Structure 1
């Protein structure tokens, strides 16, 4: 808005003791670039209806303007009172001006409610979900090679405020050493702020989230790690977390139905924080980041091997067809309750119950250990446990392969290209 010199007001709602949303909105308008904004200093509105009517009165008639209401969920209430006020102001006054009204909120569930059927703002706006930076963006910002860019994505989650602090050429250890030494760095505090905003009064949801973040994936193990909470309580908590998009509840892709649901944190940064930082914040407060850093380095390789799987599956879904492997609607994984059969990558015509399986794959994401004949034999054995059909086999490897008999091999360079090539196409359009 500033770059295009568009008259605008940007208001960010806040939550907490002493917060005065209406007063803060008035201050935002008074300090904005809207013409006649000083009217708000002369006549203070007594409620939101008056404030929005007064705002409409100073919006230009002869040029576009922009009004941004950020963190809108903090203003919303179960009865929809604020939404009704905003809807009336839009229908009667704001929409008569050449104004772009942008409503922003990080609580996805609340933002979906805003435009859902039966709510005041239903069919009055266009929804746009803004995700974090993708691995291609992270590579461009940090100057890292493809494999290292995936590492950076797993730590930063693609959050710009964290990614921007990754100096060109930083190794994982160099970045973490610098950021952990600052107890108020975005890497340390961003998750705390998010959790406080999303779950101010929902202790059990945060306990469940911490259990999943610690590595527990099954319903039973999560309940145990969360302190033995009741089945019904855990069900409500996991439903809340999945509704908010913070947790994904996944089923194995196979030819037969399965009830072996597994849970994972969708945001890589939050997953990293819950595993390595959240449980050990007292170390950082005592200025002992060395203890935290050494713990991360000891566990990094094994943690990364599991954490990178969703990114790799998404990359394959974007890059296929390639190497003779077809594009498919569903790319997931397969597992059994006992984990005696676990396949990292399964491509199919649909999920979770497929009609046709297109390919199986294994991920080996180690710096100095290529995909070898032992890995291939294990993948072939697991394929035989699932189907007798000669389903194509692929390998995703960080360090190459030393065996044949694979139908395709995908490297970090090819996977990263799934995002980089898309960005190039967008620019051409």
Structure 2
């Protein structure tokens, strides 16, 4: 069993919020505090809260909704209170008076919570209740305003449907401004390096394959290489690597087959609107627009524009979750092959396409690393509000890294850069010449240049050779230490 790693920032926020409850410094003189915790499925939200509860000395209730009929959810909630660590007399309230409405359940919960010591109430998978229980948000708001917030309680509302959790706290919704928001991302590359005992370059590979999802990382043996992990996972038809994506998609898009078809096209490598439409079966412009809006609203897909001083309509799409991107590209098309125990064939195909796929997939992770790393105290690169990329139709000009003051149309470009993420090839004079050429195509200014290379910078470049800075996996990994998750 792997020890709990990472999440120090999130645990600190939870502890500090509970301290506010303890010192009764809540808003409007009320001790109660509420946090809305959201993040993609299997990212470890529930495990984070479980770890927090184990580290504190406070009674708690942990209820997880399951998308059942409203009456059944209410009965499960009552069972959760009865089996909680609240004082015995408090738990007996739910035994003596089984509530038949959520209003009554919240009233009983408020009576059950201690008056003189902090407690924690966790409601996991809140979006299920928002869908299944009529007027749930209104009942929760009234219970919070009239009863629960008057108690020294920390209420944690957790959800995996990102758009619904954002809506819960949005303007004109009943629970607006009742809670503060916390976003839980996957484990970052530094967490993976520690958890899996991997060197920096291998930690980035692990991030691209597992997406930093704890469930997948727990199956990765410490010190194990990428290909050994993949080989074992492909030999096990119920491994987390194989089944987690399908389960997440089934929960995210239970009736939206079109959204899944478009997602599959993007995951297979199609990035432009026209090519996605063709790969998804020749669907219409209107239909594809609805599908991409659904996918971007749920945070599954990002539609990005080139960052430059000139406007562009060349939007490109990518799957935001690295694991889902890997699964869609390599595993989904070969599930039948894997199920008949020929994972060795799938592994051979992954090896064949790995360098090309990784070179594109690592770009967003590199950009995120630079955004955290800069400004560079030893170089010429400033902090950049935006770190994106630039491309033209047909990729006649393509720049992997663009640091700018805003996006997509920048007033000022801060730096430009190239990513070369190959096993045994350094950033060389040819790469530098190409970067100079592409810079000249987008600006006449002497914008600083940066190289990011898995294999370092070639000696033929001569020092930095006109580069303001050069970074490898070790420097990028350092950017994630002591910072929030991805």
Alpha-carbon distance, 1:79 to partner: 9.5
Match of 1:352 in 2: 408
Alpha-carbon distance, 1:16 to partner: 5.8
1:324 matched to 2:380: yes
Alpha-carbon distance, 1:43 to partner: 2.4
**Which range moves more in the overlay, 45-54 or 384-393?**
384-393
Indicate which of 395, 405, 410 corresponds to 1:339.
395
**Which range moves more in the overlay, 342-351 or 23-32?**
23-32
The 1:335/1:179 distance shift into structure 2, 3 A limit, reads same
Match of 1:77 in 2: 131
**Which range moves more in the overlay, 350-359 or 386-395?**
386-395
Match of 1:3 in 2: 55
Q: Is 1:80–1:120's contact at 8 Å kept on the other side of the alignment?
A: no
Match of 1:412 in 2: 473
Indicate which of 14, 26, 30 corresponds to 2:82.
30
The 1:102/1:422 distance shift into structure 2, 3 A limit, reads closer
- State the secondary structure of the residue aligned to 2:401: strand
Q: Is 2:63–2:123's contact at 8 Å kept on the other side of the alignment?
A: yes
1: CA distance, partners of 2:293 / 2:132: 18
Unaligned segments of structure 1, at least 5 residues: 424-429
2: CA distance, partners of 1:396 / 1:251: 22
2: CA distance, partners of 1:379 / 1:108: 38
Match of 1:138 in 2: 192
2: CA distance, partners of 1:183 / 1:251: 39
Summarize the alignment of residues 261-410 of structure 1 with structure 2, pairs less than 5 Å apart.
261-322=315-376, 323-402=379-458, 403-404=461-462, 405=465, 406-410=467-471
**Which range moves more in the overlay, 397-406 or 136-145?**
397-406
**1:30-67 superposed Cα distances (whole Å, 9 cap, x missing partner):** 21111231332332211211111122221111211111
Match of 1:86 in 2: 140
Alpha-carbon distance, 1:422 to partner: 4.2
Match of 1:124 in 2: 178
**1:121-173 superposed Cα distances (whole Å, 9 cap, x missing partner):** 01111111111111111111111111110000001111111122221211110
Alpha-carbon distance, 1:285 to partner: 2.2
1: CA distance, partners of 2:68 / 2:61: 22
2: CA distance, partners of 1:78 / 1:167: 40
Q: Is 1:152–1:172's contact at 8 Å kept on the other side of the alignment?
A: yes
Unaligned segments of structure 2, at least 5 residues: 1-52
**Which range moves more in the overlay, 200-209 or 176-185?**
176-185
Alpha-carbon distance, 1:282 to partner: 1.9
Indicate which of 159, 169, 178 corresponds to 2:213.
159
Match of 1:99 in 2: 153
Alpha-carbon distance, 1:19 to partner: 8.8
**Which range moves more in the overlay, 188-197 or 65-74?**
188-197
Q: Highest relative contact order (Cα 8 Å, sep 6+), 1 or 2? A: 2
**1:228-277 superposed Cα distances (whole Å, 9 cap, x missing partner):** 11111111111111111111111001111000000111111111111111
1: CA distance, partners of 2:107 / 2:262: 44
TM-score computed with the length of structure 2 as normaliser: 0.84
Alpha-carbon distance, 1:72 to partner: 0.3
**1:287-326 superposed Cα distances (whole Å, 9 cap, x missing partner):** 2221221111111111000000001011111111222112
Indicate which of 232, 235, 247 corresponds to 1:178.
232
2: CA distance, partners of 1:54 / 1:13: 18
TM-score computed with the length of structure 1 as normaliser: 0.95
1:202 matched to 2:263: no
**1:44-95 superposed Cα distances (whole Å, 9 cap, x missing partner):** 2112111111222211112111111000001113997111111111122212
Alpha-carbon distance, 1:3 to partner: 3.1
Q: Is 1:360–1:392's contact at 8 Å kept on the other side of the alignment?
A: yes
Alpha-carbon distance, 1:389 to partner: 2.4
The 1:18/1:65 distance shift into structure 2, 3 A limit, reads closer
Aligned residues: 423
Q: Is 2:70–2:129's contact at 8 Å kept on the other side of the alignment?
A: no
2: CA distance, partners of 1:260 / 1:220: 11
Q: Is 2:307–2:402's contact at 8 Å kept on the other side of the alignment?
A: yes
- State the secondary structure of the residue aligned to 1:263: strand
Q: Is 2:161–2:298's contact at 8 Å kept on the other side of the alignment?
A: yes
- State the secondary structure of the residue aligned to 1:333: strand
1: CA distance, partners of 2:70 / 2:146: 32
2: CA distance, partners of 1:11 / 1:299: 44
Indicate which of 67, 87, 94 corresponds to 1:15.
67
